[in-house]
Chain A
Amino acid sequence: MSTTHGSTNVHDRAQHALTDDFLRQAVHFTTDRLRNKKQAVTGEFGNWEAWRERGQQIRQHTIANLDYYLDQFTRNLEAHGAHVHFAATADEAIHAVREIATAQNAKRVVKSKSMVTEEIHLNHHLEEMGMHVVETDLGEYIIQLAGETPSHIIIPAIHKNREQIRDLFEAAGGERLTTETRDLAAFARRTLRQAYLAADIGITGCNFGIAETGSIALFTNEGNADLVMNMPKTHIVFMGMERILPTMADLEVFAHLLPKSATGQNVITYMSVITGPRRQHETDGARDMHVIILDNGRSRQLGDPDFQAVLHCIRCGACLNVCPVYRQIGGHAYGSVYPGPIGAVLSPLLNNGDQYQDLPYASSLCGACYEACPVKIPLHDMLVRERQRFVASGRVKPTEKAAFQAFRQLFGKAGRYQTTIRIARRLQFPIAQDGYIRAKIGPLAGWTMSRDFPVLPKRTFRELWPELTRKGNGRG
């Protein structure tokens, strides 16, 4: 199977993914498990809608006052001895890392899972600087060995099975392994332990930055982030500028919302909150702590009523797990590091988002994403607004534009509409068979490639209406 298909448009990449039965089976299996667990755990927890409301309120308030909270967060971080770097672009973020690494003469890096580092292709840049990078989240480690990118926000190796994982581990370690979970996990544990001990820098993401205390909250199931941030001398935190919560009390709400939505876990296995680097009397923790806060297009959404809510996202991946399109094509077909409904909305909005302008069309607008979102982001509405923006940019196909101009003319008045139906009724004769059309002609081909299309009957409802009122007891 191939997972990195180089097409420049989502339609072609999706078509490629649709031929990959293994990928689709793997995605079905895992997303089913996640959404079933989520349903069970939220049902048991109770009042889920009220929790969503609360989550939405907190995120709305935070993002509406982001300048205030970012300032508070930064001042508190600095008071604890951490260094804060604001990066307007991916390049600035890479530059900040380079400066830190050069000053430390660092050679070895361990990382825990962070989507924002994927967004700026950090590993690639670190390797270009001559550094040895090891991903320590098991899923990320697997795709790093495979030379791929994550295909899910939470489950990066969702598209890999245990045979493929064994092969990757055998190639990396030069030893024979079975496909037993115990065997594979033991190999990863042995290998990664060495990496933690040898690393000069530990890089983590940040699930939430707590403004009132200047703390970083990290959620993992493997405890790897705790080793990444404590064992190396230097800890670098990467975060999108929107990942702020005002208070510890707010974190309590999200300690419920995030794991329940992401994996259907009642609580996360490891939730760690750190506040600044190691203090003098302390025996563990990194000696230096740097926090790199990335904009990369996020601040453009502030104040935009159409898209500000995209900054409410907490990266739980629940929208991917319920998305019927993601279910069929998996993550790589989106071409962006952020796949699924949130990826289709967010990717075109970030810097260099132009290459993802077609992602909002990879949706049937079913609204399952909105229903699953723990902070009620109206993703389905935002997908429509991105389409509007694309149409307004004038880059749509002339044939499509002409079709909708015709629609405006013909469906704008009842008389013209009736004439259109009458003409269509005549035109369909040569291609109709037994009351259905199967011919793959023009735009109809997208439909008839897999399903029959009913022919227009002899009379429309409006043509039948006079008879209905005569026989019935109503009046027209």
Chain B
Amino acid sequence: MKVSLFITCVVDSVFPNVGISMTRILQACGCEVSFPSQQTCCGQPAFNSGYTDEARDVGKTLLEAFQDSDVVVSPSGSCVGMIHHYYPQLFADDPHLHQAAIDLANKTYEFSQFMVQKLQMTDLGARFPHRVTYHPSCHGSRLLGVKDEPMQLLRGVREIELVDLPYATDCCGFGGTFAVKMGEISSAMVEEKAANVADTHAEVLVGTDMGCLMNIGGRLRRTNRPIRVMHLAELLLEGMQLGRAVKA
């Protein structure tokens, strides 16, 4: 299957290893992976702050970047949620762009969604002998409706010890510009989330959105709670490498 990566600005510039991990997994699953280089950002920071024109201009770049792609896969439920949930209305005034937005929404998948729904793969032969807790990001689970897919992939990992995160579905306080604009409220929210993560005594916190993980990870680091923070793709790839090493 031919797959185009929508890597997102956060993963591209801050967490390239997440993109690398996702690429390697897709390649291992037999996908022919491409990276359309005109892409930048989905425009969500501007859109959520009420700057519609600014968001539209940035979003247009994305529509163009993926116009020839068959399938688009992205390591962020939030950015894919933006495309699915808001792009059709964002481009409602221009029939041509509106159609392009609907087309993009129809072919764009969040990483775990793609693995489970499209490739129907939940067992990647991974092995990860650690205590792990999972934070379901709000936009991926609520806006996009990807709730069980990450857990299906995690349950397919051997020797993993999955522990429930208390108040898992409560927002971590990221919210894009909210984290800066309402820094104090956001700080109180992320402290509660970080404390809940620490209470699980997990060695690893895993998630599907680097915005949230950057937020929780930043708080864990600031408060000297030594918990490793990983994107699902990073955990799976590391697990696959470990699984292969054991077999060999």
Say yes or no: A417 contacts B222, CB within 8 Å: no
Say yes or no: A462 contacts B23, CB within 8 Å: no
How far is A445 from B186 in the complex, measured between Cα atoms in Å?
Answer: 12
A253 to chain B, nearest CB (A): 24
Interface status of A367 (Cβ within 8 A of chain B): yes
Q: Tell me if A's interface is mostly helix, strand, loop or mixed.
A: helix
B216 to chain A, nearest CB (A): 8
**Contact partners of B122 in chain A: CB under 8 A:** none
Q: Specify which of A15, A371, A411 lies most central, judged by the most chain B CB atoms within 10 Å of its CB.
A: A411
Say yes or no: B24 contacts A472, CB within 8 Å: yes
Say yes or no: B188 contacts A404, CB within 8 Å: no
Say yes or no: A324 contacts B24, CB within 8 Å: no
Interface status of A274 (Cβ within 8 A of chain B): no
Spot the interface stretch: B26-34, B96-104, B197-205: B26-34
Interface status of B175 (Cβ within 8 A of chain A): yes
**Contact partners of B14 in chain A: CB under 8 A:** 454, 456-457
Interface status of A177 (Cβ within 8 A of chain B): no
Say yes or no: A387 contacts B214, CB within 8 Å: no
Say yes or no: A388 contacts B52, CB within 8 Å: yes
Q: Given A325-B189, A412-B40, A453-B218, do A14 and B182 touch, yes or no (CB 8 Å)? A: yes
**Contact partners of A396 in chain B: CB under 8 A:** 50
Say yes or no: A411 contacts B187, CB within 8 Å: no
0/1 string, A400-432, CB within 8 A of B gives 1 = 100011011001111001000100100000000
A interface size (C-beta, 8 A):
69
Q: Which residue of B lies closest to A385 (CB)?
A: B50
Contact of A461 among B19, B190, B219 (CB under 8 A): B19
How far is A367 from B38 in the complex, measured between Cα atoms in Å?
Answer: 31
How far is A474 from B19 in the complex, measured between Cα atoms in Å?
Answer: 14
Q: Which residue of B lies closest to A451 (CB)?
A: B218
Interface status of A308 (Cβ within 8 A of chain B): no
**Contact partners of A408 in chain B: CB under 8 A:** 46, 51, 53-54, 57-58
A361-B182, A450-B187 are known; give 7 further A-B pairs, CB within 8 A.
A365-B48, A414-B40, A414-B65, A438-B222, A451-B221, A460-B16, A468-B23
Kindly list the 7 A-B residue pairs having the minimum CB-CB distance in the complex, ordered from nearest.
A364-B175, A446-B183, A387-B50, A451-B218, A366-B171, A450-B187, A446-B180
Binding site for A on B (CB under 8 A): 7, 9, 11-16, 19-20, 23-24, 26-27, 31-35, 37-41, 43, 45-54, 57-58, 60-61, 65, 138-139, 142-143, 169-171, 173-176, 178-192, 214-215, 217-219, 221-222
